Structure 1
Amino acid sequence: MQISPLSRTLTAALQEKIDQKTKPPGSLGRLEAIALQAGLIQQTLEPAIVQPTIAVFAGDHGIAAEGLVNPYPQAVTAQMVYNFLQGGAAINAMCRQLQVELVIVDAGVNHSFPAHARLNDRKIGYGTRNYLHEPAMSPEQCEKAMEAGAEIVQYIHQQGCNTIGFGEMGIGNTASASLLMSCFTGLPITDCTGAGTGGTPQQVARKTVILQEALNRHGMPADAMTTLATYGGFEIAMLCGAILQAAALGMIVVIDGFIVTAALLAAHRLQPAVTDYCIFSHCSHEKGHRAMLQHLQVAPLLQLDMRLGEGTGAAMAMPVIQCATAFLQHMASFADAQVSTKNEV
């Protein structure tokens, strides 16, 4: 799919509308920038957030089965998917509170789930292979995962959604994201590796050594697809395809934390214009995320020291984005309210 940079033809008209609202220029801060971006994405002076949705992709990682990079057992991935389906996770609570739709996707969990009305079964395999020994995915699996992510977003869009956020679940996926970050940013793995689900300093040091071993074995592939197949997870590849499809459809794309941003790094390498459509919800407390955002030259909306994943940061950003479009649509202008503008000297 080809993603075009945003057309800027409406920039002047949108900025004029923003500046004519009953407020000092720039006084709504980042909300004004979000309103402008939303208008450019939707190519209208009346942008609106319709049926906001969070899609959470879950997958397992071969290396995690050996407990080499993760303090929690791999079985937690499947257990958390059941928690999502039962409505008991943080992302469920947030989506209920914020009236945001929630979609749960099995991208490749190492477990056979019974059919469930709330589970979208797009399983590529029962977890990836261990990248310490071989590439995590075959090229065909990586491509299939990206296509599945794109198809899910296409369906969500057809249901009327124009704003989508992304989340993930997968024991071991911060390790995978660290490897992808190192490859796509050129930063050493020591700068990219953090605690993940709560490892001790000793565990983080061991994790870093193991990830360096993986890099020594496979190197840094020259192209994004090979990099994603070598070090990624099924959920990360699916996220990459989903992000690209959402941008291609002209949706507002809300990026969560460390793992989702790693998927975006791959998407950005494939289609640099994808970031025009993205709003970066927060800066994760996971080591490396701030450097990822700096590499992309973007600024997050929120700083809440979160590092849970699941799309929780994206969910928290949704009401901020809604408020940005609401002021543009519903706030009176100086002329409408018959309020005097600033005196010219």
Structure 2
Amino acid sequence: MTFDIPAPDERARGEARERLDGLVKPLGALGRLEELAAWLCAAHGTVPPRPLDDVRVVVFAGDHGVSAASPVSAVSPVSAYPREVTAAMVRVFLSGASGVNVLARQVGARVRVLDVAVDGDLTDVPPEVTAHKVRRGSGAIDVADALEPGEAERGFAAGRAVADEEIDGGADLLIPGDMGIGNTTVASALVAACLGLPAEDVVGAGTGVDERGRARKVAVVEAALARAGSRAREPFALLTALGSACAAATAGFLVQAAVRGVPVLLDGVFSGAAALVAREIAPEAARWWLAGHRSTEPSQAFALKALGLEPILDLGLRLGEGSGAVQAVPVLRAARATLAEMGRLADLA
């Protein structure tokens, strides 16, 4: 599988740096804003970069077998919440009352939710929500493959199609969101497999489990890695063994955004894990991604380091949904404004 991914415009990046150095300020005084402004210029091929008026969040929703309730408890062994929350949250997104809905409204971003692999009944939602559904839930990765043969490729293709839909609709900036009880366990397994890390290093508290719950997550990831074995070396085999349909869709979304030359703000641990896999599929795609924020999950830190990305914000967020990346949008707009609106030293009387 090959992709024609354009290179960011280095001429525009260099021109942006020269212009930044000539603005009415000491050299480098705007810190990270200057780096981001030059990055946007390279992405857009123009100085200053175009406005980021149309920002779109796509929440990929799906359930995971590791979140199945135990025989003695209604609470998932790897999460502080039962898996029924996934389907319920899809309806909350549609109502406009989720965390990312509220935060996105503050920056004028649009939120779209897609049922890629939700296990619960969503027959009452609009058909466009389920238009890219791959399956109902994913397998429990500690004892079985997450996906059937061919489903990782189907999920990846679905994510690419969604990126095209959003870009054709006018998106200037894309943000991948996620919703699914058990997401952090799956993300940890993907990161550990991609980077050759032990489960103990990558597993965090997720939705807020205690040390006993985290130990359960570590055991699940250890079992999953042992079961997957050498198959984890090929990205689609990795998604089949340890991922999910929504992880595959997120990876496809990230790659297609790069193919179309549209910048992406990664969110938290789940999009970070999907980005690692996406880079294995299309290495040049990573040049089109920024990290919106630093999650509290350890596996995200490993993923971002491997991707060479420094988060724009660090607010201690762990909600997911695309909520952290949305908060970085004003920073990118501020970076653009410095080039578009600040005066030049040469023009001082």
TM-score, structure 1 length as denominator?
Answer: 0.94
* Residue pair 1:103, 1:118 contacting (<8 A) in 2 also: no
Q: Identify which of 265, 289, 294 aligns with 2:300.
A: 289
Residue aligning to 1:13: 15
**Pair 1:108-2:117 in alignment:** yes
Q: Identify which of 50, 54, 59 aligns with 2:62.
A: 59
Residue aligning to 2:244: 233
Give the distance between the partners of 2:33 and 2:304, measured in 1 at CA. Answer: 19
Give the distance between the partners of 2:109 and 2:255, measured in 1 at CA. Answer: 21
Trace 1:135-214 onto structure 2 (pairs within 5 A).
Answer: 135-214=145-224
Mean CA deviation greater in 193-202 or 3-12? 3-12
Give the distance between the partners of 2:120 and 2:13, measured in 1 at CA. Answer: 49
1:120, distance to aligned residue in structure 2 (A): 5.3
* 2:113 aligned partner, one-letter code: I
Runs of 4+ in 1 over 6 A off after TM superposition: none
Residue aligning to 1:343: none
Give the distance between the partners of 2:131 and 2:297, measured in 1 at CA. Answer: 29
CA shift in 2, pair 1:180/1:251, >3 Å: same
CA shift in 2, pair 1:198/1:52, >3 Å: same
Trace 1:1-345 onto structure 2 (pairs within 5 A).
Answer: 1-48=3-50, 49-66=52-69, 67-113=76-122, 114-116=124-126, 119=129, 121-220=131-230, 221-335=232-346, 338-339=347-348
* Residue pair 1:85, 1:118 contacting (<8 A) in 2 also: no
1:2, distance to aligned residue in structure 2 (A): 3.1
* 1:26 aligned partner, one-letter code: G
Count residues with an aligned counterpart.
338
Give the distance between the partners of 2:18 and 2:139, measured in 1 at CA. Answer: 54
1:117, distance to aligned residue in structure 2 (A): 7.5
Give the distance between the partners of 1:133 and 1:12, measured in 2 at CA. Answer: 51
* 1:132 aligned partner, one-letter code: D
**Identical pairs, percent:** 33
Q: Report SS of the residue matched to 1:88.
A: coil
1:122, distance to aligned residue in structure 2 (A): 1.6
* 1:56 aligned partner, one-letter code: V
Give the distance between the partners of 1:101 and 1:258, measured in 2 at CA. Answer: 21
CA shift digits 1:73-114 (9 cap, x unpaired): 110101111111111111011011111111111111012322
Q: Report SS of the residue matched to 1:282.
A: coil
CA RMSD of aligned residues (A): 1.5
1:157, distance to aligned residue in structure 2 (A): 0.5
* Residue pair 1:104, 1:120 contacting (<8 A) in 2 also: no
CA shift digits 1:245-301 (9 cap, x unpaired): 111111111000111100000011112222211111111012222222222222111
CA shift in 2, pair 1:16/1:145, >3 Å: same
TM-score, structure 2 length as denominator?
Answer: 0.93
Runs of 5+ unmatched residues, structure 1? 341-345
